[in-house]
Chains A and B, each alone.
Chain A
Amino acid sequence: DIQMTQSPSSLSASVGDRVTITCRASQDIGTYLAWYQQKPEKVPKLLVYAASAFQSGVPSRFSGSGSGTEFTLTISSLQPEDVATYYCQKYNSAPFTFGGGTKVEIK
């Protein structure tokens, strides 16, 4: 099975900072990659699908990129409301594995 590895597992940044989260697949998954945001005690929310397509309502400071085995989620200017854990997920074929998550905090 394809493994999904996120890095870092956690980060602390200042408001206004540019934040980048990386997700690596152990095999080529094309652009079958989604990103989710889960705020504390909340339900996960879809941010990005097809590696770079935005779900409706997602703020423009979020962007997704990549293909094949390496993907990134970037927050161009970190805001207090972005405190959350972010997960990537592959969906080219079953199992539809999630990455381990990246916890983003404000410094």
Chain B
Amino acid sequence: EVQLVESGGGLVKPGGSLRLSCAASGFIFSSYTMNWVRQAPGKGLEWVSSITSNRGYIYYADSVKGRFTISRDNAENSLFLELSSLRAEDTAVYFCARAGPYSSSFYFDYWGQGSLVTVSS
């Protein structure tokens, strides 16, 4: 069974930093593109970042480019998102999501339960 478990969320002050983690199990982690998607309270889904299986390609939404860094550890079956220079508008539930099985499959077939990040003074 595919499982994705996020951790690391919490309350942080504007301008602060945070590191989210996603522990993956139930599939060959090193073979899949992994992603972060967020959802602000009461709002829709927003794609944040993607990293391909061998870290060959990394993509960011314009809204987070230069402030967030995605990474992965294939040996530890883990995905990470470093959030810095945080703003109130970054407040959201952050979902870890697995992409489909092919290199062009940037849709998301499994999702974690999400980790809430709240940016407030």
* Chain B interface category by residue count: 20 to 34
Which one of B44, B50, B105 contacts A94 once the chains associate, using CB atoms below 8 Å?
B50
Let me know if B27 is at the binding interface, CB within 8 A: no
Q: Tell me the interface secondary structure of chain A in the complex.
A: loop
B100 within 8 A of A: yes
A44 to B46, CA, bound (A): 12
Are A101 and B44 CB-contacts (below 8 A) given A43-B111, A44-B95, A95-B62?
yes
Q: How far, in Å, is B59 (CB) from chain A's closest CB?
A: 4
Q: How far is the CA of A95 from the CA of B37 in the complex (A)?
A: 12
A79 CB within 8 Å of chain B: no
**Residues 21-78 of A contacting B (Cβ, < 8 Å):** 32, 34, 36, 38, 43-46, 49, 55
Contacts of A87 in B (CB 8 A): 44-45
Known contacts being A49-B100, A94-B59, A95-B59, is A44 close to B45, with CB within 8 Å? Answer: yes
Which residues of A1-15 are within 8 A (CB) of B?
1
Contact B108 A46 (CB under 8 A): yes
Among B70-121, those with CB < 8 Å from A are: 95, 100, 104-109, 111-114
With the chains together, A55 CA to B59 CA distance in Å?
25
Chain B residues at the A interface, C-beta cutoff of 8 Å: 35, 37, 44-47, 50, 59, 61-62, 95, 100, 104-109, 111-114
Tell me the A residues contacting B by CB distance below 8 Å. 1, 32, 34, 36, 38, 43-46, 49, 55, 85, 87, 89, 91, 94-101
